[in-house]
Amino acid sequence: MGPRHRKTRSNMRDVAEKAGVSVATVSRVLSGADGVLETTRERVQQAAEELSFVPSPAARAINSGRTYMVGALVPTLDHAIFARYIEALEMELVKQGFSLVVATTGGDPIREAERAENLLDLGVEGLFVSGITRGDGFEALVARRKVPVIATSYFKVDHSLPTIGYDNARVASMALEHLHALGHRQIGVLSGFSQDNDRTAARLTGIERHGMTGLQFAQSAIDYDAAGDSAAALLDRHPRLTGLLCLSDVLAQGALFRLQRMGVQVPTDISIIGIDDLPGSASTFPALTSVRLPVAEMGRRAAAALAHWIEEGERPTSVELEGQISRRQSTRAIAS
């Protein structure tokens, strides 16, 4: 018979034996239950410390009936804006005693409902979603499972879910007004596809509400190369454009890089503005003017709100966060 392996990790039975109590008593102490003598509680805690015993997440869930996990459903992790949001979300959730599980949806409502059900089957106690448009499958799932859900990246005070985010129509309007104030009247608008993306749809609505003439629209996948192709085609069709409003910084950077390779000078020949103010936008040449979205603050506020909802049963109110223009060198005034 080979040598026996020495057990290196203590369990609740070891703690109970050392403290001279039952396993049930150890479980009650570690879960914070009432009805345990203080001397017994101290003895159990001392035994656990001496044995370096830390309950596993699975044991914690069994003992308390809780997982202390929440889930976040996001369209993608490819773009820095979602990475910044998830990082802020997780940091605040850790402070609140929760863990985060992330799933991507690809912007597909059916896939979103499937991923949501997967997360709920894992035991998450609440969900974050992006935007306010959901498929019927998701709505039915949430109603059946009675799970707290907060919608982010969008603000709508009277929505069925609490929303923590920004007014996307207003954000796009700010960018358009910036170009208009600089004297631009022939402006191209480059957006992602609005189908199944209510944030893009709202931004387009914000632009169209102005009723400005001289606007030319094009759509593109949220990708540097695709954005470059769309920007080049837009300028080819409308060579008199003096301004280009891109509804995300990924689109704006892709347009900037492609136009520069074509010999178009920014901002001498055309001014470019984006929305998001990604970290790399301040380092392009020229540095990209953009509408800064409070993504990290959104993550922190959403995390704190969901944790409070789960713990206290109090549904949070919706919160609007303000964007602001980061003025840089990619836009300039033109003669009227």
Q: Are residues 173 and 271 in the same domain?
A: yes
Q: Are residues 233 and 312 in the same domain?
A: no
The answer as to whether 196 is a domain residue is: yes
The answer as to whether 127 is a domain residue is: yes
Q: Sorting pLDDT into bands at 50, 70 and 90, what band is 163?
A: very high
Residues 6 or more apart in contact with residue 294 via CB below 8 angstroms: 166, 321, 322, 323
Q: What is the predicted pLDDT for the residue at 64?
A: 61
Q: What is the predicted pLDDT for the residue at 308?
A: 96
Q: Are residues 195 and 48 in the same domain?
A: no
Beta bridge partners of 317: none
In CATH, what number is assigned to the domain containing residue 103? Answer: 3.40.50.2300
The mean per-residue pLDDT over the stretch 212-231 comes to 96
Segments forming the whole domain that contains residue 31: 12-63
User: Minimum mean pLDDT among 55-59, 159-163, 176-180, 220-224: which range?
Assistant: 55-59
- Read off the pTM: 0.82
Q: Are residues 273 and 218 in the same domain?
A: yes
What six digits make up the tokens of 146?
Answer: 């009675």
The answer as to whether 121 is a domain residue is: yes
Q: What is the predicted pLDDT for the residue at 97?
A: 87
Domain count, the chain: 3
| DSSP-derived secondary structure for 72-112 | EEES-SSSHHHHHHHHHHHHHHHHTT-EEEEEE-TT-HHHH
Q: What is the predicted pLDDT for the residue at 228?
A: 98
Q: Are residues 286 and 172 in the same domain?
A: yes
The answer as to whether 1 is a domain residue is: no
The answer as to whether 270 is a domain residue is: yes
Distance, in Å, from the CA atom of 36 to the CA atom of 42, rounded to the nearest integer, reads 10
Q: State which amino acid sits at residue 253.
A: Q
Is the confidence at residue 31, as pLDDT, over 80? no
Distance, in Å, from the CA atom of 166 to the CA atom of 75, rounded to the nearest integer, reads 17
Which residue among 25, 44, 63 closes a domain? 63
Higher-confidence position of 28 and 220: 220
Q: What percent of the chain has pLDDT over 70?
A: 93
The answer as to whether 7 is a domain residue is: no
Residues 6 or more apart in contact with residue 120 via CB below 8 angstroms: 71, 127, 141, 145, 147
The answer as to whether 172 is a domain residue is: yes
The answer as to whether 332 is a domain residue is: no
Q: What is the predicted pLDDT for the residue at 1?
A: 46
Q: Are residues 174 and 286 in the same domain?
A: yes
Q: What is the predicted pLDDT for the residue at 152?
A: 98
Is the confidence at residue 7, as pLDDT, over 90? no
Residue closest to 321 by CA, chosen among 306, 299, 289, 290: 299
Is the confidence at residue 318, as pLDDT, over 70? yes
Q: Are residues 159 and 178 in the same domain?
A: no
Q: What's the DSSP call for residue 281?
A: G
The mean per-residue pLDDT over the stretch 23-30 comes to 81
Q: Are residues 174 and 256 in the same domain?
A: yes
The mean per-residue pLDDT over the stretch 287-301 comes to 97
Q: What is the predicted pLDDT for the residue at 141?
A: 94
Q: Are residues 202 and 314 in the same domain?
A: no
Task: Report residue 74 CA to chain centroid gap.
Answer: 6
In CATH, what number is assigned to the domain containing residue 23? Answer: 1.10.260.40
User: Minimum mean pLDDT among 28-32, 159-163, 174-178: which range?
Assistant: 28-32
Beta bridge partners of 291: 275, 325
Distance, in Å, from the CA atom of 253 to the CA atom of 250, rounded to the nearest integer, reads 5
Q: Are residues 271 and 181 in the same domain?
A: yes
Q: Are residues 194 and 240 in the same domain?
A: yes
pLDDT tens for each residue of 79-98: 889 999 999 999 999 999 89
User: How many Cβ atoms from other residues are within 10 Å of residue 210's Cβ?
Assistant: 13
Distance, in Å, from the CA atom of 168 to the CA atom of 275, rounded to the nearest integer, reads 10
The mean per-residue pLDDT over the stretch 104-115 comes to 94
Distance, in Å, from the CA atom of 25 to the CA atom of 136, rounded to the nearest integer, reads 46
Q: State which amino acid sits at residue 55.
A: P
127 by DSSP, 3-state: which? Answer: strand
Is the confidence at residue 217, as pLDDT, over 70? yes
Q: Are residues 102 and 55 in the same domain?
A: no
